[in-house]
Structure 1
Amino acid sequence: MAKLAGLGRSGFLRHSNESLRLIIMTIIGVVVGVLIGISFPAVSITKLHFPSSIISYIEDKNSGITTQALLNHAWTSASQNKNKPSSSESAKIFVPTNPRGAERLAPGIIVPESDFYLRRLWGNPSEDLPIKQKYLVTFTVGLGQKRNIDAAVKKFSENFTILLFHYDGRTSEWDDLEWSKRAIHVSVRKQTKWWYAKRFLHPDIVAPYEYIFIWDEDLGVEHFDAEKYIALVKKHGLEISQPGLEPNKGLTWQMTKRRGDREVHKETEEKPGWCSDPHLPPCAAFVEIMAPVFSRDAWRCVWHMIQNDLIHGWGLDFALRKCVDPAHEKIGVVDSQWIIHQVVPSLGNQGQAEKGKAPWEGVRDRCRKEWTMFQDRMSDAEKAYYKLMGITAPNTTHA
C-alpha cells in the first residue's frame, strides 16, 4: 500500500513537472515569437509573391513540401525585399523641371504651348493643316468698320492667322466675307484691344507665330503690304515696330511720322525739352499703341507688363523699351510700308454718359488716369527692385 502510495505521489509529481515545463516552454515560445515579430517589418499576405512550386503544393497535397517550409520561404523572400520600394511607389512620376502643375506627368506627353490653327472634326490630325501660318494679325472691331477691316485683311497673305476681337458683340454679320469663315472671332462687348490681348494672346498661345500685329480698326492700308513689311522688319532687326504714319492725318509724335527717303528709321527730333536722352522716348525706342508689331520674344515680355485693370494701354508705348536691348536699335518705324490713321472715335462711343459728361469724355478721362497709374506702378516696381538688390537706381526719365 505504501508502495502504491509512493508510486502515486511519484506519478503525480512527474505529471506536475511536465505540465510546468510545458507552460514555461509555451511562455518562452510566445516571448520569442513576439521578439521575432518586432524585428521583422509587417508583411501583408497580399504582398507575398509565392513561386509556382508553392502553388503546386496547394494543388498537390502529395508534393512533400511541408507548411513549415512554405513559411520559411515566404519569410526569406520578405526579408530580401524589405528595402525595395513597392511597384506602385516606384511607378509614381514627379518631374520638378516640368511646367508648374504638370510635375506628375511624363515629360513626353506635355504640350506647353498652343495656337489658333483650325482643326477638322474628322480625318488624320497630321493632315489637318495644309499650311501653318507664321504670323498673327489681330484687329479689335465693330461692325461699323467692316468695310475698312475687309480692305485691311486683304493686305495680309495666307501666312497670317486672322483674329478679330468684337467689342460690339456682332459677329454673324461678318459671315458674308469669305476670309471671315477662316478667321478666329472672339466676342466680348465693350472691351479694348489690350483687355483682349491680356486674356487671349498669352505668349504660350501665340508661340507659333514669329510676329504678332495688334492693330486698331481705323487704319488705311492702301500703301501697305504685310509680307514686304515682315521682310523689312527682319532686315533691320526690329523686335518692336510699326508702319510709318502718313504725315497729314492722325499724327501725334514725330517718331511715327513717315519719312519718304528711307526704309526704316529708329530715331527723330522732337520739341525742345521733350527728350532728355536721344536714345529714349519719344525720340527713340518708341512706337505708338495704335498699330504695333511684336516679335515673339518681345511680346512674351510685353504681355507680362500689361496690367489687368488698365485696359486702354496708355503709357505702354513709353515702356516697350524695357522689353528689348538695346531698345534704340531694336524698336523702329517702317517708312516704306506706311498706313493712314483715320481717327475714327469708335472707342469713345462705347463709353457711358456720367455726371454730365458725354460717353467719349469719360473714356478719355480714364485713358489719362491710366497713363498716370501705369507710370507710377512701373516706377514703384523698379524702385522696389533696386532697393531689394541694394543697387542705386539709374537716372532715367519716364516721359
Structure 2
Amino acid sequence: MGIFPIRRKPNEMMRVLVITCIGVVFGFFLGVSFPTLTLPKLNLPSSLFPSFDLTYIEDKYTGLSTHALLNAWSSLGRAAINGFNETRIWVPTNPRGAERLPPGIVVSESDFYLHRLWGSPDKDLKIRPKYLVTFTVGYKQRKNINAAVKKFSDDFTIVLFHYDGQTTEWDEFEWSRTAIHISVPKQTKWWYAKRFLHPDIVASYDYIFIWDEDLGVEHFNAEQYLRLVKKHGLEISQPGLEPNNGLTWQMTKRRGDSEVHKDAEEKHGWCNDPHLPPCAAFVEIMAPVFSRRAWRCVWYMIQNDLVHGWGLDFAMRKCVEPAHEKIGVVDAQWIVHQSVPSLGNQGKSESGKAPWEGVRERCKKEWMMFQDRMTSAENAYYVALGIDPPNSTTG
C-alpha cells in the first residue's frame, strides 16, 4: 500500500496559526507575572541558544525586570540576524588583494618620513620632503658622501644603501641620524631599488635621485638642478659630466654654452636614428634623476636578477614620450665621475681573476641578457597582436 502525504485543509492551517499566536501571548504574560525569574532557572537546552551565554546576560542585567531582559534578548537576536545577512565587501577597483576592504580604509602608498612614538600623528612632521635622493655606499667613501649630502636641502629625504654592512659608523655625521639606512652586504643600487623603491613606496616624492657614491658635486646645487629640469620638461635626466674625466658617451658630456641639451653627435655608425640612444633619449645609470611618473615605469622594467642595471640606460626611453624631448642632460649643474672601483672590489676572486674582473664580466653578460629579454618581450607582444615586429627594439 502506498504512502500518501497528508494535506492540511486551509481551515486547519488557520487553526494552527491562531493556537501559535495564543501560545506566544500567554508566554509573554506568564513571564511578566514573574519579575524576579532568572534565566538559568529556566534550564533551557543549550542547543536552542547556541550563540549566546544566558548566564552572561543575567549577570549583565542583574536587578532588571524580565521585561527589560526580554528587550535585551531581542537586541541580541537582531544583531545576530544582521550579522548573518551582512553585505560582503568586494571592491574590484581596490589594489590587488585588498578587494575585501572598504575603499575609505585603503592606503596604497607610503613614504620614508620618520614618525614619533608619542604625541598626535598629525603633528609628527614639521616638513614633508618633496624629493628623494639615494646613494649606494661603502664607509670608505664617507667623506665624498658627506660632501654630496650637503648639496641637498631639508626638502630631500636621504636614503643610504650600505653594501659593506657598516651603518652606525655614519653617525659621526649629524645628518646621518635622520637619514634612512638600509644594509645588505655586497648588493648593487639596482638590487636595492627593485626591493625598496617600489613606486607606491616613493609616491610622495616628485623626483627620485638614484646615485652612485663616487660623484664629485662641487659644481652642483640640487634646487637649481630641479628648477632647470622643470623648466625644460625633463622626466629623466642627469647632471652633465666633467668633459676631462674619461667620458664614455658624448651625450652625457657637459656643455659650457647651454642650460640643458637633449641630443649629441656620436661616432659614425653609432646612431641609426638621431632620436635614439646614444645620440638622444639617453642618460647614464651612474646619476639618473626620475620624475615620479617616469620612475613608476622604469621600476617595472628593472629585472629582479640582473643587479648591475647595464642596458637600462638604453631602454629607459620607453618610459616617456616623446623620449628625445623628455630625456636630457643638465649642463648648468654638473658633476665629476671619480670612477672609484669600490663595488668591483666587493667581488670574489675566481679562476685566477681579480674580484673586479668577475664583476665586470657579469656586467657585460647582464647587458646582453637584458637586451635579449627586451627584444623577446616586444616581439612576443607584436606577434600576439598580429603585427610584424620591428627590426630593432632596443635602440
TM-score by length of 2: 0.81
Following TM superposition, by how much is the alpha carbon of 1:335 offset from its aligned partner in structure 2, in angstroms? 0.2
Aligned position for 1:287: 283
Given residue 354 of structure 1, which amino acid in structure 2 is its aligned partner?
E
CA distance in 1, matches of 2:390, 2:29: 85
Describe the SS at the equivalent of 1:162.
strand
1:125-170 per-residue CA deviation (whole Å, 9 max, x = no partner) reads: 0000000000000000000100000000000010000000000000
Task: Kindly indicate whether the alpha-carbon contact (under 8 Å) linking 2:238 and 2:288 is maintained by their aligned counterparts in 1.
Answer: yes
Aligned position for 2:6: 31
Task: Kindly indicate whether the alpha-carbon contact (under 8 Å) linking 1:218 and 1:344 is maintained by their aligned counterparts in 2.
Answer: yes
CA distance in 1, matches of 2:118, 2:84: 38
Describe the SS at the equivalent of 2:6.
helix
User: Are 1:59 and 2:31 matched, yes or no?
Assistant: yes
For residue 189 of structure 1, the aligned residue among 170, 185, 190 is 185
Task: Kindly indicate whether the alpha-carbon contact (under 8 Å) linking 2:382 and 2:388 is maintained by their aligned counterparts in 1.
Answer: yes
Describe the SS at the equivalent of 1:374.
helix
For residue 318 of structure 1, the aligned residue among 314, 338, 341 is 314
User: Are 1:118 and 2:93 matched, yes or no?
Assistant: no
CA distance in 2, matches of 1:260, 1:54: 102
Aligned position for 1:81: none
1:262-320 per-residue CA deviation (whole Å, 9 max, x = no partner) reads: 00000000000000000000000000000000000000000000001000000000000
After the TM superposition, which segments of 4 or more aligned residues of structure 1 sit over 4 Å from their partners?
52-55
The sequence identity of aligned pairs, in percent, is 73
Q: How many residues align?
A: 334
Aligned position for 1:267: 263
User: Mind listing any 5+ residue stretches in structure 2 that lack a counterpart?
Assistant: 9-23, 35-80
Describe the SS at the equivalent of 2:390.
coil
CA distance in 2, matches of 1:252, 1:298: 24
Q: Residues 124 and 361 (structure 1 numbering): CA distance in 2 closer, same or farther, change over 3 Å?
A: same
Q: What are the residue-to-residue correspondences of 1:194-209 with 2, within 5 Å?
A: 194-209=190-205
Given residue 309 of structure 2, which amino acid in structure 1 is its aligned partner?
G
Give the greater-gyration-radius structure (CA).
Answer: 1
Following TM superposition, by how much is the alpha carbon of 1:251 offset from its aligned partner in structure 2, in angstroms? 1.2
CA distance in 2, matches of 1:293, 1:369: 25
Given residue 374 of structure 2, which amino acid in structure 1 is its aligned partner?
M
Aligned position for 1:335: 331
Task: Kindly indicate whether the alpha-carbon contact (under 8 Å) linking 1:276 and 1:397 is maintained by their aligned counterparts in 2.
Answer: no
Q: CA RMSD in A?
A: 2.1
User: Are 1:254 and 2:264 matched, yes or no?
Assistant: no
Task: Kindly indicate whether the alpha-carbon contact (under 8 Å) linking 1:250 and 1:342 is maintained by their aligned counterparts in 2.
Answer: no
Q: What are the residue-to-residue correspondences of 1:116-195 with 2, within 5 Å?
A: 116-195=112-191
Task: Kindly indicate whether the alpha-carbon contact (under 8 Å) linking 2:378 and 2:393 is maintained by their aligned counterparts in 1.
Answer: no
CA distance in 2, matches of 1:357, 1:254: 32
Describe the SS at the equivalent of 2:243.
coil
CA distance in 1, matches of 2:254, 2:281: 16
Q: What are the residue-to-residue correspondences of 1:36-115 with 2, within 5 Å?
A: 56-60=28-32, 87-115=83-111
Following TM superposition, by how much is the alpha carbon of 1:90 offset from its aligned partner in structure 2, in angstroms? 3.1
Describe the SS at the equivalent of 2:267.
coil
Q: Residues 239 and 57 (structure 1 numbering): CA distance in 2 closer, same or farther, change over 3 Å?
A: same
Following TM superposition, by how much is the alpha carbon of 1:392 offset from its aligned partner in structure 2, in angstroms? 2.2
